[in-house]
Structure 1
Amino acid sequence: MKRKVVVLLVLLLSITALSVYAAVPLFFEKHKDLESVRVTLNGNLITGDVPPFIIEGRTVIPLREVSQELGLLVQWNQKKDQVQIYKPSVNMVVINEALNRDNNKTIVEPQRTFKQGAEYQLVIYAEVDHVPTSQSFDSKIVLVSPKGEEVHSFFKNDSNYFSTNKNSSFKVRNLVAKGTFTELGDYKLLFKMKDFDSSNYVTLAEKVLTVE
């Protein structure tokens, strides 16, 4: 019981853009001594196996769900009987190597604004720091359309593991995506990593590509 409570819940006295509203989820039918609350983070509702509640005037919320929303990774350390939280630092560079049909030359430059209908050949370089050493991490980079649809994955496989070195970091190089920007608006390049002991991928970095 101790582990379950520690892993899933954390007491937060104040978080920016965190608001609490009264509600009565089904969980509290079995725990009538607890006062339920509705918690949103940046407008997104926080839910979990154990919903947020108030006890003795303090608000308790699910640690993993809040951490994932904030771009944090949560790991349970069995030997130390403690929760470890990591905030990876991701430096992601996006290069467009699209062919210029006017002069038949390849343009190699960091580019964030594109014309609708333009062809692209995006090359991604990324370096991830501040993650545990001697471990493998399931990571992926995806391109998401303005409608929120995934239009390209920079990996062929669903699971792509990268191992950290002694400096608690790893690098991802020369990932290429080819296609055409068909929609107006903001496309997003998302770097995601699977959380410890979870099937969820956490977004650690984001680049916006605007199509006009």
Structure 2
Amino acid sequence: MKAKRVAVLICVFSMLFTATVFADSLWGSYEGYSKAKVRINGSDVAFPEGDVPAFVMNGRTVLPLRQLTDSLQAMVKWDNDAKTADIYKPNVHMFFAQDVSNKDYSLQKPFAKVDQGKTVNFVVFSQVDNLKLHVDGFKISITAPSGEEATPALEVPLDTNEESFWYPWPFKVNFTQKGNYTVKFSFLLNNEYTVVSQKVIVSE
């Protein structure tokens, strides 16, 4: 899917995003249609240079599917022969705790904030369900406010087709920077990782 950029367009009505159309002098036009700006939860959706942008046709906002699914943290599987796009949105929840019980997976001292400069040993507990397609693996990564990797990412291959699973994994992070440390959970599909869940740990 990365090698071939397939411009799959859909008309979307969702309360998760807003599309605003302005005059051509502001956003320009595409193939004779007015371009639209798209926001999801207040943040602009960026469309790569040269790709098909969001535009308005017959009173409907048309969006490139790939950018939409990435912004909504969903996965898309394209069948070129059938000209069909399948969208998958698994439920992935992450929790942070100093420890997790091996007996019943109960969280011991969960947290969401840390003191800046403190080194913390903790567990990222991931809970997955509604996984309706086979993926090749997953990755858990932690990024510092500067955008740098706070600790080496965990990559786990998957050989089974389980629809739901739990996965706890220990990390050690030195929270040297002030701000949001972003924890991302990504699935591997067609040799490409897609973020399906993310949370922050606040360093203050």
TM-score, structure 1 as length reference? 0.72
Measured against aligned partners, the alpha-carbon deviations of 1:75-98 in whole angstroms (never above 9, x if no partner) come to 12457653221111113232225x
User: 1:40: how far off?
Assistant: 3.1
Mark the CA change 1:88 to 1:7 in structure 2 (over 3 Å): closer, same or farther.
farther
User: 2:191 aligned with 1:192, yes or no?
Assistant: no
Tell me the distance in 2 between the aligned counterparts of 1:131 and 1:78.
22
Tell me the distance in 2 between the aligned counterparts of 1:78 and 1:172.
34
What are the residue-to-residue correspondences of 1:1-212 with 2, within 5 Å? 8-22=8-22, 23-24=27-28, 28=30, 31=31, 33-41=32-40, 42-47=42-47, 49-77=51-79, 81-96=83-98, 109-133=109-133, 135-155=134-154, 160-165=156-161, 167-173=162-168, 175-194=169-188, 196-197=189-190, 199=192, 201-212=193-204
Q: Percent identity?
A: 28
User: 1:164: how far off?
Assistant: 4.4
User: 1:57: how far off?
Assistant: 2.2
Q: Which runs of 5+ in 2 are unaligned?
A: 100-107
User: 1:66: how far off?
Assistant: 0.8
Mark the CA change 1:7 to 1:170 in structure 2 (over 3 Å): closer, same or farther.
farther
Larger radius of gyration: 1
Mark the CA change 1:206 to 1:94 in structure 2 (over 3 Å): closer, same or farther.
same
Measured against aligned partners, the alpha-carbon deviations of 1:74-129 in whole angstroms (never above 9, x if no partner) come to 112457653221111113232225xxxxxxxxxx5222222222121122221321
Tell me the distance in 2 between the aligned counterparts of 1:128 and 1:115.
29
Which moves more between the two structures, 181-190 or 7-16?
Answer: 7-16
Quote the residue 1:102 is aligned against. none
User: 1:154: how far off?
Assistant: 3.4
Q: Is the 8 A contact 2:17 2:38 kept in 1?
A: no
Which moves more between the two structures, 77-86 or 52-61?
Answer: 77-86
Tell me the distance in 1 between the aligned counterparts of 2:187 and 2:153.
13
Mark the CA change 1:64 to 1:146 in structure 2 (over 3 Å): closer, same or farther.
same
Q: Is the 8 A contact 1:18 1:40 kept in 2?
A: yes
Q: Is the 8 A contact 2:150 2:173 kept in 1?
A: no
SS at match of 1:139: strand
Quote the RMSD (CA, aligned, Å): 2.9
Q: Which runs of 5+ in 1 are unaligned?
A: 98-107
Tell me the distance in 2 between the aligned counterparts of 1:204 and 1:72.
6
SS at match of 1:136: coil
Q: Is the 8 A contact 2:7 2:52 kept in 1?
A: no
User: 1:182: how far off?
Assistant: 0.9
Tell me the distance in 2 between the aligned counterparts of 1:54 and 1:117.
49
Q: Is the 8 A contact 2:113 2:202 kept in 1?
A: yes
